[in-house]
Amino acid sequence: MNAEQRVKDLGIDLPPPPKAVGNYVPGVQVGNLLFLSGCGPQRADGSYVVGKAGADLSMEQAYAAARVAGLAMLARIRLVAGSLDRVARVVKVLGMVNAAPDFKEQPKVINGFSDLMVEVFGDAGCGARAAVGMAALTGQMAVEIEMVPPASRSRCSAFASKGSIAAVTAAISLAENAPSTLMKPSALNCSR
């Protein structure tokens, strides 16, 4: 089953894609990798889930905020790639949590995003990930999440600037020449 069909079958309504709030593009495709700008927990009405995990928000509320950020990311993917079906798998996720200094559950919070990606993309929705705490995020939003999936050629390149393409192309060239001992997606086990 494809991702667009899963979204339909799960009854998921995606919000409008988030608009850029600075001098950046929503995504840049270089080769088969799609580098997506960060998404916060923006609801369909344009408001954000705000607050610090461990102070203003419980772990469960912050998890729900990460899921809302995941819905915004899916909308962004659809905007940039044209369809969720153009995403082959989740390669890398960076989840940033607006957290109180003593909060230690950042990975559990970002599971709200990752669990949604697995619902939509199946096992291919489970990728490499970092979950970190931040002293503050823009507008005090609860989380911000970046993602890198591979994507088939599409209109994605229309969102890229020549300078950003050159920088990312150089990084990909280095990665492609890395030792072959790196893990291959087929060797990953994303079971819980």
pLDDT, tens digit (0-9, with 9 covering 90-100), for 20-37: 888 999 999 999 999 999
- Alpha carbon of residue 38 to chain centroid: 7
Nearest alpha-carbon partner for 3 in 110, 113, 119: 119
In the predicted model, is pLDDT for residue 1 greater than 90? no
Q: What is the mean pLDDT of residues 49-78?
A: 98
**Cα dihedral angle (94, 99, 105, 108), rounded to 10 degrees?**
-50
- When pLDDT is cut at 50, 70 and 90, the band that residue 168 belongs to is very low
Confidence check: pLDDT of 178 > 80: no
Q: What is the average pLDDT value for the chain, to the nearest integer? A: 84
pLDDT above 60: residue 189 = no
Nearest to 53 by CA among 112, 94, 130: 112
**Window from 49-63, 118-132, 175-189 with minimum mean pLDDT:** 175-189
Buried/exposed 11-46: b ≥16 CB within 10 Å, e otherwise:
eeebbebbeeeeeebbbbbbeebbbbbbbbbbeeee
Cβ pair 78, 167 in contact under 8 A: no
**The listed CATH number (3.40.50.2000, 1.10.3720.10, 3.30.1330.40, 3.40.50.720) that belongs to domain 3-177:** 3.30.1330.40
